[in-house]
Amino acid sequence: MSITMDLLFFVLGGIIGSFLNVCVYRLPREKSIVTPGSSCPHCGKPISFYHNVPLVSYLMLRGRCRHCGGPISVRYFAVELLTALLFVALYRGWGLSFELAVFLVFVSGLIVISFIDLEFRIIPDTLSLGGLLVGVGFSFFRDGFTYKDALLGILLGGGVLWVIAFVYELVRKQEGMGGGDIKLLAMIGAFCGIKGVLFSLIFGSFLGSLVGIPLMIAKHADAKYALPFGPFLSFGAVLYVLAGDRIIYAIIDIISPR
């Protein structure tokens, strides 16, 4: 756990983050993620130039297009910084291990899903179902997490939200939970198992209400119109990967002190 390694993972995260930005931009628009690069929404010139140096380029250009000076979404900077910080946190949590590789991939997927859901209110199947398959694939090689854990996680993740959505529709006569959220929770199950699914659902819902209810009141809107659920489920899953067991033990300690 040296400072050099922290820096290495920060830089790696920044580079991966700028690639994730391309995915956030392209996947919902069903464009190729390889060619050509993103273009400035104002002048149409390619903006791949500032992917050269993640984070730094955005700051140097003060978030503006080099060609026309038009503003470029702060999302580009946010995704790069978030990815860089999470890569360092994951390295610190898991050290150099196969689990680290698994969770770097998992969290990268969650970042793309969250930012697409925030912007477009959809979660592409390519990411959720594709991620689910990747999670199952990893499970054959992981230590202390088998393909059975992955399958049970998928069943619970897919099942729990499906039942909630089904009951909600019966009671309210309208669609509640999006199908995208159900597939996302199934994907979380493929990487984190039953425990991770429950943890993500509980913490995601808790944080969602913490942010969502005031927003609902302020906007006089229905919860499902106010906020997408995907980023909150993802936040719960990231929290689980980084500190799930510690948080669970702390809660058990509070409920039944030894």
Q: Which amino acid is at 110?
A: L
For the chain, state the CA radius of gyration: 19
Closest alpha carbon to 168 in 222, 132, 213: 222
Residue 66 CB, nearest approach to Zn ion (Å): 7
Contact status: 224 vs Zn ion (CB under 5 A)? no
Residue 71 CB, nearest approach to Zn ion (Å): 9
Applying CB under 5 A, which part among 33-41, 129-137, 166-174, 222-230 lies near Zn ion? 33-41
- Chain positions 201 to 220 lying near Zn ion, rule: CB under 5 A, are none
Contact status: 40 vs Zn ion (CB under 5 A)? yes
Applying CB under 5 A, which part among 35-43, 116-124, 169-177, 195-203 lies near Zn ion? 35-43
* Nearest-angstrom CA–CA distance, 68 and 64: 8
Beta-bridge partners for 39: 46
Binding Zn ion by CB under 5 A: which of 26, 67, 121, 224? 67
Produce one character per residue of 3-31: b if its CB has 16 or more CB atoms within 10 Å, e if not. Answer: eeeeeebbbbbbbbbbbbbbbbbbbbeee
Count of residues in contact with Zn ion, rule CB under 5 A: 7
Phi, psi (5° rounding) for residue 174? Answer: -150, 160
Residue 32 CB, nearest approach to Zn ion (Å): 21
Interface residues with Zn ion (CB under 5 A) are 40, 42-43, 65, 67-68, 70
